[in-house]
Amino acid sequence: MNIAIIAAMGRNRAIGRDNRLPWAIPEDLARFKALTMGHPIIMGRKTWMSLPKGALPGRRNIVVSRAPLFTAPGAEVFASLADALRATVTDPLVFIIGGGEIYRQMMPLADTIHLTRIDADCPDADTFFPLPDEREWELAEASETHASADGIEYRFETWARRANP
């Protein structure tokens, strides 16, 4: 099984504010959909609760929550990341979609990071992405810088774990 992290991060590493994305960039959402479609997606409870329509279609939605009575219609709930990973062991590719604590715990296990770098700050952010350690990760691919309809500049990056860090 390959584990891929996918996130969109501002200049100050911001990924969330009040359980929402700090920006809406349609091209980023389209990339997220294209990459994750058909694959299991693992997320924390707060990320699940931030999804406006609940379970994302075309993907096996998996939520990690320590709350024993937590339910997530259209998703499977596991008490730990270890349990969630065991449930996906036969899948060739699994995506980690957030939030901050889930990213932090999964960074040592991930093989790939799909990162959208957004050229904007979110000074009132409350959730942040853990930067990849360049001793362990190398930039495998980066797009040109693009501008969203709102004029926010961004670029897509793919990071690969180094073979011998």
Q: For domain 2-161, give the CATH superfamily.
A: Dihydrofolate Reductase, subunit A (3.40.430.10)
Strands (E), the chain: 2-9, 14-16, 41-44, 61-64, 76-78, 93-98, 112-118, 127-128, 137-142, 146-147, 153-161
Beta-carbon neighbour count of residue 57 at 10 Å?
A: 10
pLDDT digit string (tens) for 18-59?
999 998 899 999 999 999 999 999 999 999 999 999 999 999
Domain range list for the chain? 2-161
pLDDT tens digits along 97-152: 999 999 999 999 999 999 999 999 888 999 999 988 889 999 999 999 999 988 99
Nearest to 61 by CA among 162, 78, 12, 52: 78
Question: Can you give the pTM of this predicted structure?
Answer: 0.95
